[in-house]
A and B are shown apart, each in its own frame.
Chain A
Amino acid sequence: DAGVIQSPRHEVTEMGQEVTLRCKPISGHDYLFWYRQTMMRGLELLIYFNNNVPIDDSGMPEDRFSAKMPNASFSTLKIQPSEPRDSAVYFCASSFSRGTNSPLHFGNGTRLTVT
């Protein structure tokens, strides 16, 4: 198993542009999480899904952020329009519920730079 796969690994874009981050969770996992990592705030939970349904999006900073999970094997996080303060590493993670909190499996992250 290749684990959680995120693309792209690096993204550099100009302010105002649309950015789409992609994630393929581990097959069979029914939870999917999007986190943002910055030096100031550490790991912030943006949104998470259970069986493709968004459960909690209270961490999504603004309406500029949106996330979808059209099927069990794919999710996107979109920022439109992007701003320099969105620069961070964005992680996707997945897990499998089995009666207790199972470990999260993280992707390698997407390092986003907005100039």
Chain B
Amino acid sequence: AQRVTQPEKLLSVFKGAPVELKCNYSYSGSPELFWYVQYSRQRLQLLLRHISRESIKGFTADLNKGETSFHLKKPFAQEEDSAMYYCALSGRPGGTSYGKLTFGQGTILTVHP
């Protein structure tokens, strides 16, 4: 079974402070990990994926297979980062759960001025 855990439902930081949204996963195989974001009054959308090793809007996330984690980080939070963030997992192509995206419970990030 595949499972994603986001331990924090709410996270508040001040503008300019570092932020880390935690994500742990359980999967028997090689997963693909994603972060999705939902800004106020907008659709849920992809923020970044681990295979791309990219930085989007200043956010990065590193897959740590030893700790089965995929934490989302940003060194200096901005007010416009306030949103709901979801960590998600899927199996790799060729696997039984390829295409099936399982989400965590989500973390609401609030960045105060």
Contacts and interface: CB of A to CB of B under 8 A. Distances in A.
Interface stretch (B11-19, B58-66, B69-77, B99-107): B99-107
A99 B45 CA distance: 20
B32 interface: yes
Contact of B99 (A41, A44, A50, A106): A50
A66 to B, nearest CB: 19
Contact of A107 (B36, B43, B49, B51): B43
Contacts, number: 60
Contacts of B98: 97, 101
B25 interface: no
Contacts of B103: 35, 42-45
Interface in B80-102: 86, 90, 92-93, 98-102
A55 interface: yes
A19 to B, nearest CB: 22
A48 B45 contact: no
Contact of A101 (B6, B32, B43): B32
Contacts of B86: 42-43
Contacts of A43: 44, 86, 103-106
Contact of A45 (B43, B44, B46, B101): B101
Nearest to B2: A45
A91 B44 contact: yes
Contacts of B105: 41-43
Interface string A29-60: 00101010000011111001010000110000
A45 B99 contact: no
Given A100-B51, A100-B93, A106 B101 contact: no
Contacts of A31: 99
A56 B2 CA distance: 13
Interface of A: 3, 31, 33, 35, 41-45, 48, 50, 55-56, 91, 93, 95, 97, 99-101, 103-104, 106-108
Interface of B: 6, 32, 34, 36, 43-46, 49, 51, 86, 90, 92-93, 98-106
5 contacts: A42-B104, A42-B105, A43-B105, A48-B99, A95-B99
